[in-house]
Structure 1
């Protein structure tokens, strides 16, 4: 079983990547950091091969919101909004603050956004949403967002 997080809206939302992961060629990486750790030694890789690189593990823990163009099977059972986005959110202080800022910046007066934590993999679990609540944006707390670490939650946030 796997739990995934989503943001859904009837209007488009901006995609963001607040990680510090960079896409570059092996040749560029060797110039930037010749001592970079890699599962395969850099000298054994094609210099034109594109790789992902970050300075530290902490750099990977930023918030990402990306359009869900390949949704899990039966996602539409729960989410009825027109636009659905993958939400990569690590439940750290940093990413919680980033998600809070993202929501405050992007929720408009006429809009309601849903933030979901849904478990897939067990056919019985997909049909269970244990907690669905409505919260005004002004009343939203970091604690509400951290609760998304549980399974089967939907928070409907409105302006």
Structure 2
């Protein structure tokens, strides 16, 4: 069973990556982090591209990316034309970034839905909560943190 989060809309949305990770070649990482002990990884090709975060405090931020490989059964829940992965740790930094994102990039005509869906236990009954765009706050998104099947509709 896996709990996934999505953001879906009738119109395209802006993709963002505040995950805290950067894509970097091993040789470049060796230049910017000379004290990092890469020897523990064995003989790593200097041309290999890896994901790197300087420290834990940089990770867990808002990431919205196109859902080009959706889980089986997603169509039972989401009927919007544009579907995106919604990722992050749902901590205070993430909730602040998500609130800022909605305030900057979401319009009422987009009819945005934010979903939390647990896959692997059959089709779930969904809980739906609707809010107007001007009612959105950091606390609005906490419903998505652990619910097995819920949808927050922003109108």
Could you say which TM-score interval applies, normalised by the shorter chain? over 0.9
CA offsets per residue over residues 72-128 of structure 1, 9 Å max, x none?
A: 0010110000000000021110000000011111112422100000000112xx332
Note the aligned Cα RMSD (angstroms).
Answer: 1.5
Aligned match for 2:141, one of 140, 145, 151: 145
Q: Matched residues in 2 for 1:116 and 1:18: separation?
A: 19
Large movers: runs of 4+ above 3 Å: none
Residues 1:34 and 2:34 are matched in the alignment: yes
Number of aligned positions between the proteins: 154
Matches within 5 A, 1:16-55: 16-36=16-36, 41=40, 44-55=43-54
Equivalent position of 1:74 in the other structure: 73
TM-score by length of 2: 0.92
Q: Secondary structure of 1:8's match?
A: strand
The range that moved more, 135-144 or 7-16, is: 135-144
Residues 1:156 and 2:153 are matched in the alignment: yes
TM-score by length of 1: 0.90
Structure 2, unaligned runs of 5 or more:
none
Deviation at 1:29, TM superposition (A): 0.6
Equivalent position of 2:62 in the other structure: 63
Q: Matched residues in 2 for 1:58 and 1:2: separation?
A: 25
